[in-house]
Amino acid sequence: MAGVECVAAVDVGGTTMKGGLVARDGTILYTERRPTPRAEGADRVIAAISAFVSDLCRPRAGTRPAAVGLAVPGLVTDTHAVFSAAFGWRDVPVSAFADVDLPVALGHDVRAAGEAELVYGEGGEDVLFLPIGTGIAGAVVLSGSLYGGTGGWAGQIGHIPVRPDGLPCGCGQRGCLAAYASAGAIAARCGETSAEDVLRRVREGDDAAGAVWGEAVDTLGLALATYTLLLDPALIVIGGGLSLAGDALLDPVRARLRERLAFRPAPGLRASRLGGQAGLLGAGLLGWRA
Ligand SMILES: [Zn+2]
């Protein structure tokens, strides 16, 4: 990769941070994953991000990145990570995440991933990109543009109530979609560490795992029907770790979505073609903009 122009990119997730060096055409030249030390508190997470950025910015094979792109969850502006329920931080300046002498751009993880889908994936004018991992959030594309809403809160589909007075959610509400259908919730409800383990038990005929998986599928179908009726998308693209379940997830969710829509056709539903790299590529796009 000597001589190739690149940026350093870090996508901070609830359990894993994905870092890498990304060329302008979206080629990932180097990639590395590190655990997010969420249980150790906000300060430790910020320090771990800063160390990751510094390591990625060290010259290697004659190449040094030209800028840094950083994608984090929660409410984010160009200069501050304003709030994250997952990490418990408030008003963290971009300089706390990246102590390097390079331009640094900060952005929202899901919107960054949505932008990567638009640039490198297969987009469209009216699309919902829905990464499902530790949590669930959506990147809403309306008439070809990402829609952020008045305060940057648009697309919080994971916190739409799907079961009135249902399970408590980490956000403080009850009955949220994320409490049933996020990879994190699916695993936790079955006492497993990953949704993959739950799906394996479903395939083995385990009733308890089957019930949890079934409720995830039902609630996703319900939330996507609500979204469809409100915004009439052409396509819904599921990303994140749960999308790796493929047809075991998509086929039943597609069926539920169709059943919920009595008088109109269902939009297309498919897995992201970026194979879980949308967040990293989105952070790379932020870096190129810096
Ligand atoms: Zn919630």
DSSP string computed for 64-87: --S-EEEEESSEE-SSEEEEETTT
In this structure, the answer to whether residues 131 and 239 fall within a common structural domain is yes
β-bridge pairing 104-108 and 68-72: parallel
Mean pLDDT, residues 173-198 taken together: 96
In this structure, the answer to whether residues 133 and 179 fall within a common structural domain is yes
Find the 179 Cα to ligand 1 centroid distance in Å: 7
Find the 172 Cα to ligand 1 centroid distance in Å: 6
Dihedral pair phi/psi, residue 129, rounded to 5°: -100, 125
The answer to whether residue 118 is domain-embedded is: no
Q: Is the pLDDT of residue 2 over 70?
A: no
Asked whether 216 and 180 are in contact (CB, 8 A), the reply is yes
Q: Is the pLDDT of residue 269 over 70?
A: yes
In this structure, the answer to whether residues 157 and 251 fall within a common structural domain is yes
Query: Which two tokens mark 60?
Result: 């290697």
Domain count, the chain: 2
In this structure, the answer to whether residues 229 and 133 fall within a common structural domain is yes
Q: Which of 233, 243, 245 is nearest to 272 (CA)?
A: 243
Q: Which of 110, 109, 74, 111 is nearest to 92 (CA)?
A: 74
Asked whether 14 and 76 are in contact (CB, 8 A), the reply is no
The answer to whether residue 119 is domain-embedded is: no
Find the 64 Cα to ligand 1 centroid distance in Å: 40
> For residue range 39-93, what is the model confidence (pLDDT) as tens digits?
999 999 999 999 999 999 998 777 889 999 999 988 888 899 998 878 989 999 9
In this structure, the answer to whether residues 250 and 151 fall within a common structural domain is yes
β-bridge pairing 104-108 and 89-93: unpaired
d(CA 43, CA 87): 9
Looking at residue 170, what is its pLDDT?
Answer: 85
The answer to whether residue 267 is domain-embedded is: yes
Looking at residue 1, what is its pLDDT?
Answer: 54
Radius of gyration of the chain (CA): 19
Looking at residue 171, what is its pLDDT?
Answer: 85
Q: Which CATH number fits the domain that encloses residue 282?
A: 3.30.420.40
Looking at residue 86, what is its pLDDT?
Answer: 81
- CB under 8 Å, gap of 24 or more: what pairs does 76-79 form? 76/106, 76/107, 76/108, 76/152, 77/106, 77/152, 78/105, 78/106, 78/107, 79/106
Looking at residue 247, what is its pLDDT?
Answer: 95
The answer to whether residue 2 is domain-embedded is: no
The answer to whether residue 117 is domain-embedded is: no
d(CA 171, CA 269): 27
In this structure, the answer to whether residues 135 and 71 fall within a common structural domain is no
The answer to whether residue 1 is domain-embedded is: no
In this structure, the answer to whether residues 284 and 220 fall within a common structural domain is no
Looking at residue 236, what is its pLDDT?
Answer: 96
Find the 159 Cα to ligand 1 centroid distance in Å: 4
Per the prediction, the chain carries an average pLDDT of 93
* Stretch among 39-43, 95-99, 168-172 having the lowest mean pLDDT: 168-172
In this structure, the answer to whether residues 69 and 159 fall within a common structural domain is no
Q: What is the pTM of this model?
A: 0.85
Find the 156 Cα to ligand 1 centroid distance in Å: 9
In this structure, the answer to whether residues 32 and 169 fall within a common structural domain is no
Looking at residue 69, what is its pLDDT?
Answer: 97
Residue numbers of the domain that contains 221: 124-271
In this structure, the answer to whether residues 56 and 187 fall within a common structural domain is no
Mean pLDDT, residues 213-222 taken together: 98
> For residue range 130-140, what is the model confidence (pLDDT) as tens digits?
999 888 989 99
Q: CA 9 from chain center: how many Å?
A: 15
Return the percentage of the chain with pLDDT > 90, whole number.
76
Buried b / exposed e over 193-217, threshold 16 CB at 10 Å, is ebbbebbebbeeeeeebbebbebbb
Query: Which two tokens mark 250?
Result: 């998509």
d(CA 86, CA 202): 28
In this structure, the answer to whether residues 35 and 131 fall within a common structural domain is no
Find the 176 Cα to ligand 1 centroid distance in Å: 5
Find the 144 Cα to ligand 1 centroid distance in Å: 28
In this structure, the answer to whether residues 70 and 147 fall within a common structural domain is no
Find the 94 Cα to ligand 1 centroid distance in Å: 26
Q: CA 106 from chain center: how many Å?
A: 15
Find the 136 Cα to ligand 1 centroid distance in Å: 9
Q: Residue 68 pairs with which residues in a beta bridge?
A: 8, 104
The answer to whether residue 222 is domain-embedded is: yes
The answer to whether residue 45 is domain-embedded is: yes
Looking at residue 168, what is its pLDDT?
Answer: 95
